[in-house]
């Protein structure tokens, strides 16, 4: 069983150094930079490298990737300096295993079979997101958090999917994840982080655990 001392906060889809700095100052534990070309939050490897240079010594920077071979992902990780890779797509377990311990897989959850797939993902960490047809993530949709409550007792579970300052307390209480991951829920428009919402999200997550804000 995994013991969680506190729930971490990751803000994903950061698109600039300025956004990254502001998120760190708001108290987030990790930042995600999206390198998936089809995403509205996609940035170049150069931007990712600049973000790592500016805040990488103060917080974990995660690169969100898909449809790349394990050697290509390793090369990208080395070129950007990110601390970890968040791997999306189908049949990713082998890729994740080859990149451990600096990678984890994302599984879209819509029912018990998807939870089984998440449980079988290699590594200590696994991200779960809402299952929306034709989308890899970042849809702003939630799913039934109770589906992953047992999994969160055994794994370092990163919970994503439609989280906001208004529902993150309920999400934490429902499944006690290792980390809560937010993107659209703290934006004024796609890709543009609203720092008031980021700070409200961090404060709500802390309040859910009885921590000082």
pLDDT of residue 139: 63
Contact 48, 61 (CB under 8 A): yes
| Residues contacting 24, CB < 8 A, separation 6+ | 31, 55, 58, 59
pLDDT of residue 99: 94
pLDDT of residue 3: 47
| Ordered DSSP codes for 78-143 | HHH--SEEEEESSS-HHHHHHHTTSEEEEEEESSHHHHHHHHTSSSSEEEEEE--TT--S-S----
Angle between helices 195-208 and 168-175 (to 10 degrees): 30
Q: Residue 177, Cβ neighbours under 10 Å: how many?
A: 25
pLDDT of residue 138: 58
Per-residue pLDDT of the chain (213 residues; tens, 9 = 90+): 454 568 999 999 999 999 999 999 999 999 999 999 989 999 999 999 999 999 999 999 999 999 889 999 999 999 999 999 999 988 899 999 999 999 999 999 999 999 999 999 999 999 999 987 666 555 678 999 999 999 999 999 999 999 999 999 999 999 999 999 999 999 999 889 999 999 999 999 988 776 655
In the chain, the largest separation of any two C-alpha atoms, in whole Å, equals 43
pLDDT of residue 5: 64
pLDDT of residue 208: 77
Distance from C-alpha of 190 to C-alpha of 186, rounded to nearest angstrom: 10
* Rounded-to-5 percentages of helix, strand, coil across the chain: 40, 25, 40
Distance from C-alpha of 59 to C-alpha of 69, rounded to nearest angstrom: 26
| Residues contacting 9, CB < 8 A, separation 6+ | 27, 28, 29, 30, 179, 180, 182, 201, 202, 205
Reported pTM: 0.91
pLDDT of residue 131: 82
Contact 175, 157 (CB under 8 A): yes
Distance from C-alpha of 170 to C-alpha of 122, rounded to nearest angstrom: 28
Q: Is 19 exposed, middle or buried (0-12, 13-18, 19+ CB in 10 A)?
A: buried
């Amino acid at each position: 069983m995994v013991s969680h001392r506190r729930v971490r906060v990751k803000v994903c889809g950061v698109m600039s150094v300025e956004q990254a700095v502001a998120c760190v100052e708001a108290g987030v534990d990790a930042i995600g930079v999206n390198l998936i070309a089809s995403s509205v939050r996609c940035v170049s490897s150069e931007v990712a490298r600049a973000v790592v240079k500016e805040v990488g010594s103060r917080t974990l920077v995660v690169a969100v990737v898909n449809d790349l071979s394990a050697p290509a992902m390793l090369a990208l990780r080395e070129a950007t300096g990110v601390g970890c890779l968040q791997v999306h797509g189908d049949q990713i377990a082998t890729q994740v295993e080859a990149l451990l311990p600096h990678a984890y897989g994302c599984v879209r959850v819509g029912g018990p079979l998807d939870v089984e797939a998440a449980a079988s993902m290699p590594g200590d960490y696994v991200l779960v997101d809402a299952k929306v047809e034709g989308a890899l993530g970042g849809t702003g949709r939630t799913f039934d958090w109770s589906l992953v409550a047992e999994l969160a007792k055994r794994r370092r579970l990163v919970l994503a999917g439609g989280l906001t300052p208004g529902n993150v307390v309920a999400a934490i209480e429902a499944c006690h994840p290792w980390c809560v991951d937010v993107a659209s829920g703290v934006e004024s428009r796609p890709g543009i982080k609203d720092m008031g919402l980021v700070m409200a999200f961090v404060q709500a997550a802390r309040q859910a655990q009885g921590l000082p804000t």
